[in-house]
Structure 1
Amino acid sequence: MQTEMPTLKELLAQREALQDQLNVARQRQAEIVLAEIVAKMGEYKISLAELMGHRNPVKATAPAAAAAVTTAAPKYRDAVSGATWSGRGRAPHWIADKNRDEFLVNA
């Protein structure tokens, strides 16, 4: 019993589809890890300057320092990956072009 080999065109299409899946998975994982890093920075009160390796960060004025540490609470959550988004900045791929009401975090 012989099986037919896929054509070059079919194999290239499969490779492109797999590359798209890899890109989506990589982006999803990066968003999860970034959210974990931001949470730990808040938990341990680590500033961005400390994270970047500056041992003696320049002291900022009180309002500016408070704004730098403040992170917005998550407003949206992806049920599949658990990733969250505050609603600020560019929308993550898992919520882009979708009804955001479906992703609202219950307060």
Structure 2
Amino acid sequence: MEIKQASLKELLAQRQALQQQVTATRQRESEVVLARIVRKMREYQISLADLMGREIESHKVTTAAVPKYCDLRSGATWSGRGRAPHWIIDKNRDDFLVSA
């Protein structure tokens, strides 16, 4: 008795069909779980703020950061917070300081 091996094309088609089934099943199950969570939150009177562990209404108001560096060529600015923009990486930041 000879066992027939599937071709690459057949295997790829099977993989795609399985991936579609996985995606559909994950979506269905997550909707069921979400409905259960919402139902339990209502049952126990848990607010979103309670769930997040903080008061949603009391978010601090953030202000825009004042630019500390400026690229004179492009006019782009950077506050010095977060990830450095490409135009200042590996360069002397003092050359880009915005004068007060």
The TM-score with structure 1 as length reference comes to 0.51
After superposing on structure 2, the runs of 4+ consecutive aligned residues of structure 1 that deviate more than 2 Å are: 56-59
Q: Considering only CA atoms, is the larger Rg found in Structure 1 or Structure 2?
A: 2
| 1:45-101 deviation line (CA, Å, top 9, x unaligned) | 1111111111x5548xxxxxxxxxxxxxxxxxxxxxxxxxxxxxxxxxxxxxxxxxx
The TM-score with structure 2 as length reference comes to 0.54
Residues 1:41 and 2:41 are matched in the alignment:
yes
Q: 2:23, 2:4 → 1: CA distance?
A: 30
The higher relative CO (CA closer than 8 Å, separation ≥ 6) is in 1
Query: Runs of 5+ in structure 2 lacking a partner?
Result: 59-100
Task: Name the Cα RMSD after superposition.
Answer: 1.6
Q: How many residues align?
A: 58
| 1:24-63 deviation line (CA, Å, top 9, x unaligned) | 1100000000000000000011111111111x5548xxxx
Query: Runs of 5+ in structure 1 lacking a partner?
Result: 60-107
Distance 1:57 1:10, change over 3 A: closer
Distance 1:9 1:58, change over 3 A: same
Distance 1:8 1:57, change over 3 A: closer
